[in-house]
């Protein structure tokens, strides 16, 4: 029995069981009763096993029939989902999309990319939620999230787009005025900008495979990342940031990266969404769009 014939035979077998009789299955399939009988017989012959015990009054699954029925249902379900996924790819994305991202990463990179996405897909409406607190996507009704941390939720699908580190930086003027640092303990004598990104009064480092905290102090404390970066650029003091926050001034020399040998492991940046075989076309299009947009964002 050929592949397509086998699939039709499996559909017929499932219909016979679900409908409870050969004649009812024929009506459900819009086929003749003799055609249904022939298909079932051909299927059993190809498998060399009896699937149904048939009398004039009732049908009963054999032990082999019960096992094969489960297999048929699984195969037909997966085929239906595969066809639905292909059909969804041809639909123009539309509807409402809810996206979450960390505040500063969202401001710098997600929001501009999202605006370009909405220009490309005007039938999509979007709510962008910028929040540094990790929220449960299922409970909050969120379609897609950008996460900067290892995932602790196995129900989410994650697609990596990069990695970041926590880095210590200073302006050339600050280093000239306050002196260089070659070890985290040197920070005790420096003016440090304490901010949310760095951990306020304690900055964390790694040495010889061990993580530890170093107390820092200074005359400025800021609860907003961009303001802290600006203060660092202006030479106020040393700052501790996530690497993407200072990637541009590091690239053009306005800031200098120090204590690189003591940085902790890189943190993954992922696009995450609740596990679902059938994603709406708007969600699928947005995930692919953001993967392309964020792939070249300087993060390290």
Q: Do 47 and 84 belong to one domain?
A: yes
DSSP the chain: --HHHHHHHHHHHHHHHHHSSHHHHHHHHT--HHHHHHHHHHHHHHHTS--EEE-SS-EEE-HHHHHHHHHHHHHHHHHHHHHHHHHHHTSPP-EEEEEEE-HHHIIIIIHHHHHHHHHH-TTEEEEEEE-SS---HHHHT-SEEEEES----TTEEEEEEEEE-EEEEE-HHHHHHH---SSGGGGGGS-EEEETTTTTTEEEEEETTEEEEEE---SEEESSHHHHHHHHHTTS-EEEEEGGGGHHHHHTTSSEEE-GGG----EEEEEEEE--SS--HHHHHHHHHHHHHHTTS---
- Is residue 74, in this structure, part of any structural domain at all? yes
- Is residue 161, in this structure, part of any structural domain at all? no
- Is residue 246, in this structure, part of any structural domain at all? yes
Q: Do 67 and 142 belong to one domain?
A: no
| Domain interval for residue 214 | 166-262
Span 81-89, average pLDDT: 72
Q: Do 221 and 74 belong to one domain?
A: no
Q: What are 119-149's pLDDT values in tens digits?
A: 999 999 999 999 888 888 888 889 999 998 7
Q: Do 195 and 243 belong to one domain?
A: yes
- Is residue 49, in this structure, part of any structural domain at all? yes
Confidence of residue 116 (pLDDT cuts 50, 70, 90): very high
Say yes or no to pLDDT of 1 above 70: no
Q: Do 113 and 140 belong to one domain?
A: yes
Q: What are 194-210's pLDDT values in tens digits?
A: 987 777 789 999 999 89
CATH number at residue 192: 3.40.190.290
CATH number at residue 11: 1.10.10.10
Q: What are 30-46's pLDDT values in tens digits?
A: 999 999 999 999 999 99
CATH number at residue 116: 3.40.190.10
- Is residue 217, in this structure, part of any structural domain at all? yes
Q: Do 136 and 285 belong to one domain?
A: yes
- Is residue 218, in this structure, part of any structural domain at all? yes
């Amino acid at each position: 029995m050929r592949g397509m014939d086998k699939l039709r035979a499996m559909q017929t077998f499932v219909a016979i069981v679900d409908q409870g009789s050969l004649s009812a299955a024929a009506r459900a399939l819009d086929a003749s009763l003799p055609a249904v009988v022939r298909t079932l017989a051909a299927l059993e012959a190809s498998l060399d096993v009896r699937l149904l015990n048939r009398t004039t009054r009732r049908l009963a699954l054999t032990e082999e029939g019960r096992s094969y029925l489960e297999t048929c249902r699984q195969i037909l379900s997966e085929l239906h989902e595969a066809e639905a996924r292909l059909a969804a790819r041809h639909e123009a994305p539309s509807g409402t999309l809810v996206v979450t991202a960390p505040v500063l990463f969202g401001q710098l990179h997600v929001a501009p990319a999202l605006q370009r996405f909405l220009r490309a897909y005007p039938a999509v409406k979007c709510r962008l939620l910028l929040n540094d607190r990790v929220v449960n996507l299922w409970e909050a009704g969120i379609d897609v999230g950008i996460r900067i941390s290892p995932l602790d939720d196995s129900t989410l699908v994650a697609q990596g787009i990069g990695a970041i580190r926590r880095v210590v930086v200073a302006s050339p003027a600050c280093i000239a005025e306050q002196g260089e640092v070659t070890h985290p303990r040197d920070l005790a004598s420096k003016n440090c900008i304490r901010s949310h990104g760095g951990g306020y009064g304690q900055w964390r480092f790694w040495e010889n495979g061990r993580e530890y905290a170093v107390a820092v102090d200074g005359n400025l404390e800021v609860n907003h990342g961009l303001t802290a970066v600006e203060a660092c650029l202006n030479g106020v003091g040393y700052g501790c940031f996530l690497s993407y926050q200072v990637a541009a001034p590091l690239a053009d020399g306005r800031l200098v990266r120090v204590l690189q040998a003591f940085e902790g492991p890189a943190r993954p940046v992922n696009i995450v969404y609740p596990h679902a075989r059938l994603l709406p076309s708007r969600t699928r299009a947005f995930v692919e769009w953001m993967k392309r947009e964020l792939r070249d964002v300087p993060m390290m």
